[in-house]
Amino acid sequence: MGIFDKFHSLAADQRALVDSGVNPFNVVIERLISATEAIVNGRRTILAGTNNYLGLTFDPQCIEAAKKAVQDQGTGTTGSRMANGTYVGHAALEREFADFFGYRSAIVFSTGYLANLGMLSVLAGQGDTILVDAHCHASIYDGCRMGSAEIIRFRHNNVIDLEKRLRRLGKKTANTMILVEGIYSMLGDRAPLADIVTLKQKYGAYLLVDEAHSLGVLGEHGRGLLEEAGVGNSMDFIIGTFSKSLGATGGFCVSNHPELDLIRYASRPYIFTASPAPPVIASTRTALKILETHPELRRRLWRNARHLYQGLDDMGFSLGPEISPIVAVRMPSIKQALVLWGNLLDRGVYVNLALPPATPDSASLIRCSVSAAHTQEQIDYICKAFSDLREGAIALDAQSTAVDSPLDVTPAF
Q: In the prediction, which pLDDT does 14 show?
A: 74
- Catalytic residue positions? 185, 213, 244
Q: Give yes or no on whether 16-47+295-404 and 59-293 have one common fold.
A: no
51 torsion bin: left (phi>0), alpha (psi -120 to 50), beta (else) = left
Tell me what pLDDT residue 1 has.
61
> CA dihedral in degrees (155, 158, 163, 166; nearest 10)?
30
pLDDT in tens, 245-281: 999 999 999 999 999 999 999 999 999 999 999 999 9
Query: Rounded to an integer, what distance in angstroms lies between the CA atom of residue 394 and that of residue 149?
Result: 45
* Mean pLDDT, the chain, integer: 93
Q: Say yes or no: domain 59-293 is CATH 3.40.640.10.
A: yes
Q: Is the pLDDT of residue 127 over 60?
A: yes
Ordered strands of the 176-181 beta sheet = 105-109, 251-255, 237-241, 206-210, 176-181, 129-133, 150-154
- Give the pTM: 0.92
Does residue 396 have a pLDDT over 70?
Answer: no
pLDDT of 403 over the 70 cut: no
Q: Which one is predicted more confidently, 402 or 171?
A: 171
CB-CB contact of 36 with 55 (8 Å):
yes
* pLDDT for residue 135: 96
Question: pLDDT tens digit string along 177-217?
Answer: 999 999 999 999 999 999 999 999 999 999 999 999 999 99
pLDDT band at residue 401, thresholds of 50, 70 and 90?
very low
Domain 16-47+295-404: assigned CATH number: 3.90.1150.10
| Chain length of the chain | 413
Q: What is the pLDDT of residue 297?
A: 98
Q: Map out the domains of the chain as residue ranges.
A: 16-47+295-404, 59-293
